[in-house]
Amino acid sequence: MRVDVAVVGGGPVGLAAALECRARGLSVAVFERRPGADVDKACGEGLMPRAVRFLARHGAMARLSDQDFSPFTGIRYVSDDGTVATGLLPGAGGLGVRRLALRRALYGAAAEAGIQLHEGCTVAGFTRDAGRTLLSTDAGEVEARLLVGADGLHSRVRREAGLAVKEAEAAPRYGLRAHFARAPWTDKVEVHFGDGVEAYVTPVGRARVGLAFLFSKQGTEPHRFDALLERFPALAERLSAAPRDSEVMGAGPLRQHVSAVVADGVALVGDAAGYVDAVTGEGLMLGFEGAEALGRHVLQALGRGATARSLRPYARDFQVAYRRYALLTEGLLSIAARPRLRRAVLRGLSFSPGAFEAALAVAVGD
């Protein structure tokens, strides 16, 4: 099989990158190792305004049912001392979307666009030879002009391309998420702060809310979802009568370092391209921005052999978005880890909603 672009990883960001490349008239194949359409993973499931516009542009919004999404108008921070700060997002706001539904919508858009979709197909490895990237897959050998690694936090493509950097952390961060069958009680994404843990509540349907925990892990003691929920009594009470609507799923360690996002014949997108933390809820938006950046430069890069040098314009554009995300994320992590500072900042935001909204507009790139 020969294609212009082979994408490893069939999640939302991999499909987004495939759609961007296909929109430039390129032949594209996507390889997803997990079988079936319902490929789930731990995800906050909040889409910021630019990500919502991306879905609309590629026809994915029309494939979503309101059973699987809910608009949200802003962000509400809730401190452990009872302080509440609320800020509205710019424009029409964001969207909470069940990840399964998001993937189905993008998968349908990709199929309609003529992208080759290979589910349950593992990419065992790849080599670079004479300006081509040769992939060894369950479907046989694939020759591609460019390989796009969209295979997540623990990307095999990143590792085999020599772009991964290992840095030990004293207290790595992890995430757990599940869903509950009950109507959302607010049109905001709520972020509840505790010591060493945050709880994120996202409306993801007319009768469903998603609950995710982010926490620092020290030692080998496991963190149970129910035990984390007990640390937020108000949330536990709201959800006490609601049945669990999904399995608990986890992810981590969240922080992932890269030496670069491109190599000869390889470009990384999404979590594979480096990750700080999910504390800002911008993972999907950043992934879609990366897909758009790749689309802007892919034809020129292919025309110059898809070398690391020819892919640098993509890397530069991606780094602009990544630096904004990383600075905001590191700042919020620093605040969240210092209880007195966190409470003071949230009190300030509660008295200055305009400042909060201006910060949100900058954070989401609007």
pLDDT digits (tens, 9 = 90+) for 287-327: 999 999 999 999 999 999 999 999 999 999 999 999 999 99
Q: pLDDT confidence of 38, banded at 50, 70, 90?
A: confident
- Provide the pLDDT for residue 363: 80
**CB-side neighbour CA atoms (13 Å) of 273:** 35
Report for 34-48, 210-224, 287-301: range of highest mean pLDDT: 287-301
**Residue 318: both structure tokens together:** 């991606």
Nearest Cα residue to 228 out of 250, 253, 208: 250
- Provide the pLDDT for residue 91: 84
Q: Are 364 and 48 in contact (CB under 8 A)?
A: yes
Burial of residue 44, with CB atoms counted within 10 A of its CB: 0-12 exposed, 13-18 middle, 19 or more buried: buried
The single-letter code of the amino acid at 256 is: Q
Task: Report d(CA 29, CA 10) in Å as an integer.
Answer: 10
pTM of the full structure: 0.94
Q: Is 163 helix (H, G, I), strand (E, B) or coil?
A: coil
Task: Report d(CA 207, CA 323) in Å as an integer.
Answer: 36
Nearest Cα residue to 214 out of 188, 177, 184: 177
Contacts of 354 (CB under 8 A, 6+ apart): none
| Backbone φ/ψ region at 16: left (φ over 0), alpha (ψ -120 to 50), beta | alpha
Q: Is 259 helix (H, G, I), strand (E, B) or coil?
A: coil
- Provide the pLDDT for residue 37: 65
- Provide the pLDDT for residue 306: 96
Crossing angle (nearest 10°) for helices 283-303 and 49-57 = 50
**Mean pLDDT for the stretch of residues 265-284:** 93
| pLDDT tens digits, one per residue of 93-104 | 899 999 999 999
**Residue 245: both structure tokens together:** 């609507």
Domain 2-68+97-167+255-330: which CATH class?
A: alpha beta
**Residue 10: both structure tokens together:** 């069939």
**Residue 354: both structure tokens together:** 């305009």
Task: Report d(CA 269, CA 9) in Å as an integer.
Answer: 10
Q: pLDDT confidence of 221, banded at 50, 70, 90?
A: low
Nearest Cα residue to 178 out of 102, 98, 69, 279: 98
**Residue 158: both structure tokens together:** 């990143």
| pLDDT surpassing 60 at residue 220 | no
**Mean pLDDT for the stretch of residues 152-167:** 94
- Provide the pLDDT for residue 146: 98
Which runs of consecutive H residues, i.e. helices, occur in the chain? 12-22, 49-57, 99-112, 156-160, 225-230, 233-239, 283-303, 312-336, 339-351, 353-363
Q: Are 100 and 67 in contact (CB under 8 A)?
A: no
Q: Are 47 and 97 in contact (CB under 8 A)?
A: yes
**Mean pLDDT for the stretch of residues 234-243:** 96
The rounded Cα 76 to chain-centroid distance in angstroms is 20
Task: Report d(CA 195, CA 202) in Å as an integer.
Answer: 21
| pLDDT surpassing 70 at residue 285 | yes
| pLDDT tens digits, one per residue of 112-152 | 999 999 999 999 999 998 889 999 999 899 999 999 999 99
Nearest Cα residue to 281 out of 357, 358, 198: 198
The phi and psi torsions of 51 (rounded to 5 degrees) equal: -70, -35
| Backbone φ/ψ region at 152: left (φ over 0), alpha (ψ -120 to 50), beta | left
